[in-house]
Structure 1
């Protein structure tokens, strides 16, 4: 049984990207937007809807990414699209 910190570290090790925290934050943000869409817009939540929001937020993040991570982030992002 993993603690929250152990699970977080395990995920960080598996992702192995310097922009790991941004991935986690934007994934959570996409969940929040999906939740708000259900509450305020009556849009049924779905994995596909969450994934679309997540990818759109990642595309916006690319514009703020440090130049030294730009290539690695672009490759990772393209693998999702």
Structure 2
């Protein structure tokens, strides 16, 4: 069994991206928004709903990304869209 820290480290090693933590944070944020949508908007959560929120947040992150990371981030983002 992997601990949570080991799982994060494994994912970090596989992604090998300097903006790894931003991806994790935005994935968690998308879960939180999905939860709030269930509670306050009565929208049932789904993987597709989470994915839509996650991708929209990733697109917005592009505007906050450091200039030196922007080319790599743009290539990565385009590869998952």
Q: Note whether the superposition's TM-score is higher than 0.5.
A: yes
Match of 1:33 in 2: 33
Residues 2-81 of structure 1 mapped to structure 2, 5 A cutoff: 2-81=2-81
Which TM-score applies when normalising by structure 1? 0.96
CA-CA distance at 1:49 after TM superposition:
0.6
- How many residues of Structure 1 are paired with residues of Structure 2 in the alignment? 81
SS state of the match for residue 67, structure 1?
coil
Runs of 4 or more, structure 1, over 2 Å off, are: none
Query: How many angstroms apart in 1 are the aligned matches of 2:5 and 2:46?
Result: 28
Where do 5+ consecutive residues of structure 2 fail to align? none
SS state of the match for residue 43, structure 2?
coil
CA-CA distance at 1:60 after TM superposition:
0.9
The structure with the greater share of residues assigned to helix is 1
Alpha-carbon RMSD across the aligned residues, in angstroms, is 0.7
